[in-house]
Amino acid sequence: MYPFPRCPGRRGRPGRGGRAKGLTATSNAGAAPASPQYSASVRLVIARCSVDYDGRLTAHLPSALRLLIVKADGSVLVHSDGGSYKPLNWMSPPCRLTEHPAGLDQPARWTVTNKAGETLTVTIEETLSDTSVELGVDPGLVKDGVEAHLQELLAEQLHRLGDGWRLVRREYPTPIGPVDIMCRDDAGTHVAVEMKRHAGIDAVEQLTRYLELLNRDPLLSPVHGVLAAQTIKLQARTLAEDRGIRCVVLDYDAMRGIEREGTLF
């Protein structure tokens, strides 16, 4: 059996249309969905429907209760409760959505067509919910625990590497890129610290190259190495220790002053 295909489509500019006023939501449960206009709103429809795709091949989804999403950029997605985040099918913008209201003997129908002439036809037997909401501008994903933040925290907390350690510079330059932290230990020896969230063999190889170049400088040599990360793979630790590189596992919560609940210490 062939899996239900994912409709191809090319990304394009968001569709043009009227702007929704404020962060409002409307619900028209039980009624056939009204004809949408591209706007700043996302539309969520829960309906019992069947879906037919006609393009490079044809496929059919039998009638079932599904979530239909019409995004502000014009894309249309068909979701079921299973399958994680992946839709059963979708049509990417630029595409055109045409809605046909229900007749005496005909159910409501959506026809979605892209530039290639492929079509996604959604036959709607029953609409349980039809809601539109303006989401506004998304600020984007803010990652927690990124290497830059770890580097900043460790530069301020060098005691985690040893007593009496002193910072020389963050982003210490080399001909093949900057070392995250250059510092001196309590004996005054230079130490290059490479930071990772999750360190593998690649991180060891990277730090090894840095150390080879840094140790050519008579003003710095000898330069020792420290690989600091939230997690370090066993193979990476074995290789690092074989090359004389020290491995340090960082507790990100502790560095931020966050106490874990349910611990004795």
69-93 pLDDT per residue, tens: 998 888 899 999 876 678 899 888 8
Task: List, in order, residues 6 or more apart from 125 with CB less than 8 Å away.
Answer: 47, 48, 49, 50, 63, 107
Predicted local confidence at residue 128, as pLDDT: 96
Categorize the per-residue pLDDT at 12 as very low, low, confident or very high, splitting at 50, 70 and 90.
very low
The amino acid that residue 55 corresponds to is G
Q: Which pLDDT tens digit goes with each residue over 214-240?
A: 999 999 999 999 999 999 999 999 999
**Which of 55-59, 127-131, 216-220 shows the lowest per-residue confidence on average (mean pLDDT)?**
55-59
**Which of 2-6, 153-157, 232-236 shows the lowest per-residue confidence on average (mean pLDDT)?**
2-6
Q: For 186-191, what is the mean pLDDT?
A: 95
H-type helices in the chain, by residue range?
A: 147-156, 201-214, 234-242, 252-255
- What domains does the chain contain, in order, with CATH numbers? 25-134 (2.70.180.20), 147-255 (3.40.1350.10)
Categorize the per-residue pLDDT at 21 as very low, low, confident or very high, splitting at 50, 70 and 90.
very low
Predicted local confidence at residue 140, as pLDDT: 64
The amino acid that residue 31 corresponds to is A
Global pTM value: 0.47
